[in-house]
Amino acid sequence: MPPTDTPPAGAGPARPARRAAPAPAGVRPSPDPDPAPGAGPDAGQAVGPDAAPGRAAVLCGLGTWLPPRSVSNEELSQELDTSDEWIRSRTGIGRRHVADPATATSDLAVEAGRRALKSAGLEAVDAVVLATTTPDRPCPATAPLVAAQLGLGTVPAFDVGAVCTGFLYALAAGSGLIALGTARTVLVVGADKYSGILDPHDRSTRVIFGDGAGAVVLRAGDRTEPGALGAPLLGSDGTGADLVTVRSGGSREPVRADTAGAADPYFRMDGKTVFRRAVERMADTSVAAAGQAGWAAGDVDVLVAHQANLRILYAVADRMRLPRERCAVHLDRVGNTAAASIPLALADAVAAGRLRPGHRTVLTAFGGGLTWGACALRWPELAPA
């Protein structure tokens, strides 16, 4: 199918509603009265740009940051009962970056944000949204500190907590600020320092996660422009809250002097169950997001999925009947960087020449909560950071 600049469903004058075929179970219904083919009544809860017909959030800058230290599988095998072959065969990961103890999530976010602003050719934005599971402190939010360190003054700034889907939720929030007229430019950052919440003796998690940050700048624009975000499709299922969790440290299990010995402050995950659900949700929501943009799944040029596990990435592509070579793969060098994984993978694909202006692009993620989401855009031409 040749490239088209047809805007996502929901733009322009309303048309008579028609009966649509059912879409993926568990994905919330879109308010669009006439969804595009493939985006049925359960395609997702459309948020952000649909609030203002014709107006869209346009991606206009991209920046990333990784801590200097890179840890190989061989290095981990000296501390854990594992090997390079065991890790690669199960995850596809060969290395991951680890921040030093003195580096906080805000430090990672500031570096990525600074580069995204440079890419966008801006010195200031109207708002900052930070997706993270590892804030500098439980209170206050980390985003205001990031804004201050970037010299952005008193702009609105807040955190979003949707674990590995956090970046897509933050994109939705940033798009909504633009759609409502609250902001014309928004810095959206995904940053995590998982090395600070991993059990040092748990090979099932320690070999997977790495630290890093990625950021994009959104600006108000038109739905027909390259870089215009389609309405993000988001979903959640709180019945799976225990599948991906840090049990202690919140109001359910606070850490106090008298309970410290029984507390579990580390990240835990039921990998097998998460694997299956992640594949289903990311694939089905990606098909719906492509359909909302007027594309068939096979028209997608690049699928940029949360970099959780290579087998998950390929299983998502298989379920979508998309050639595996269209998947952006970055986790082999950085591991699972949680909320940072999508912007990091975007930057890597651009640098490698695999993601080029005009490419039909779908972003998708699955994370704790449980949460998931997807978003479609035609990739724009960006200045390097």
Q: What is the pLDDT of residues 321-352, one digit of tens each?
A: 999 999 999 999 999 999 999 999 999 999 99
Is 385 or 132 the better-scoring residue by pLDDT? 132
Q: Which of 60, 309, 327, 336 is catalytic?
A: 336
Q: What is the pLDDT of residue 307?
A: 98
- Residues 362-383, mean pLDDT to the nearest whole number: 97
Residues 125 and 208 in one domain: yes
Q: What phi, psi does 219 have (nearest 5°)? A: -135, 160
Whether the pLDDT of residue 261 is over 90: the answer is: no
Asked whether residue 367 is domain-assigned, the answer is yes
Tokens of 81: 């009962």
C-alpha to C-alpha distance for 324 and 328, rounded to whole angstroms: 9
Q: Which of 97, 306, 330, 359 is catalytic?
A: 306
Closest CA to 11 of 28, 42, 36: 36
Q: How far is CA 134 from CA 190, 201, 224, 238, 333, in A?
A: 11, 20, 36, 20, 21
Give me the amino acid identity at 186: V
C-alpha to C-alpha distance for 350 and 187, rounded to whole angstroms: 19
Give the total residue count for the chain. Answer: 385
Q: Which of 60, 164, 327, 375 is catalytic?
A: 164
Residues 202 and 236 in one domain: no
C-alpha to C-alpha distance for 193 and 8, rounded to whole angstroms: 35
- Residue 186 structural domain: 58-222
Asked whether residue 45 is domain-assigned, the answer is no
What are 186-233's pLDDT values in tens digits? Answer: 999 999 999 999 999 999 999 999 999 999 999 999 999 999 999 999
- Residues 29-38, mean pLDDT to the nearest whole number: 36
Q: What is the total count of domains within the chain? A: 2
Q: What is the pLDDT of residue 250?
A: 83
Residues 209 and 72 in one domain: yes
**Contacting residues for 154 by C-beta, under 8 A, at least 6 apart:** none
- Residues 248-256, mean pLDDT to the nearest whole number: 80
What are 35-63's pLDDT values in tens digits? Answer: 333 333 343 444 433 334 568 999 999 99
Closest CA to 190 of 146, 125, 154, 220: 146
Is 260 or 8 the better-scoring residue by pLDDT? 260
Residues 213 and 234 in one domain: no
Residues 184 and 317 in one domain: no
Residues 91 and 172 in one domain: yes
Residues 197 and 213 in one domain: yes
- The mean pLDDT of the chain is 87
Judge whether 306 counts as a catalytic residue. yes
Judge whether 164 counts as a catalytic residue. yes
**Contacting residues for 141 by C-beta, under 8 A, at least 6 apart:** 130, 135, 157, 158, 159
As beta bridge partners, residue 376 has 362
Q: What is the pLDDT of residue 13?
A: 38
Judge whether 336 counts as a catalytic residue. yes
